[in-house]
Amino acid sequence: MTDKTVIHVVDDDAAMRDSLAFLLDVNGFQSKTHDSANAFLAAVARDVPRCVVCDIRMPGMNGIELVRELKRKGTACPVILITGHGDVALAVEAMKAGAVDFIEKPFDDAVLIGAIRAALDAHSSGQGDSVARKEAEARLADLSPRERDVLQGLVAGKINKVIAHELNISPRTVEVYRANLMAKTAARSMSELMRIALAAGL
């Protein structure tokens, strides 16, 4: 990876675009900002972007739809989705669509920059999926069979009561397992836990 790699920022919020552009510039990247997914697609019509940071909730085409459109066009570039309304279902949908990461606002600047560098490194090596899978599997290695059962329920979008019923345990026990999952995988949020699980193929 070389300095001044162009990172495309797609967000309908002008203040957020400016903030992200500044953050990227001071960290050695060149930023190009777009106020909508369609504006971004038009700007890169004859180019393959290196990396995209995109808000999920925008008027018109949203971030997840943009990921799907890039995949449909055969444009192979890592897309990091950011959102101020993170939830498990949204994280699962984003990762299944093909986003390389899902970050909830407010986020630490280092988290986003780290995600961008990791995405660029994995993409340039041509081993993005396999590297991500190995890293995710390593983070799940210490889980017990029952913790994996609970995690699979969460990935499927099931609530604690349903998971508890299916596993014949109490909802309180499911909560304990959820806490264990966060601790053992060092996930910062439930959406990050979903990203790890999906990357590992659960």
Q: Phi/psi of residue 188, each to 5°?
A: -85, -20
Contact 33, 17 (CB under 8 A): yes
DSSP conformation class of 82: E
Would you state the pLDDT for residue 1?
A: 44
132/71 Cα distance (integer angstroms): 18
Contact 49, 75 (CB under 8 A): yes
Pairing assessment for the beta strands 51-55 and 6-10 based on DSSP bridges: parallel
H-helix segments, 31-170: 37-43, 63-73, 88-97, 109-125, 128-140, 145-155, 160-167
Residues 139, 147, 84: CA angle, nearest 5 degrees: 65
Q: CATH 3.40.50.2300 region(s) of the chain?
A: 6-126
Return the CATH number of 136-199, one of 1.10.10.10, 3.10.20.740, 3.40.50.300, 1.10.10.60.
Answer: 1.10.10.10
Q: CATH 1.10.10.10 region(s) of the chain?
A: 136-199
From the centroid of its chain, how far is CA 202? 16
Q: How many CB atoms are closer than 10 A to CB 9?
A: 23
Least Cα distance to 7 among 100, 79, 103 occurs for 79
Which CATH number does 6-126 carry? 3.40.50.2300
Could you list the pLDDT tens digit for every one of the 202 residues in the chain?
445 889 999 999 999 999 999 999 999 999 999 999 999 999 887 777 889 999 999 999 999 999 999 988 888 789 999 988 766 778 888 888 888 888 888 888 998 998 899 888 876 665 556 777 888 888 899 999 999 999 999 888 888 999 999 999 999 999 999 999 999 998 877 777 888 888 888 7
Would you state the pLDDT for residue 90?
A: 81
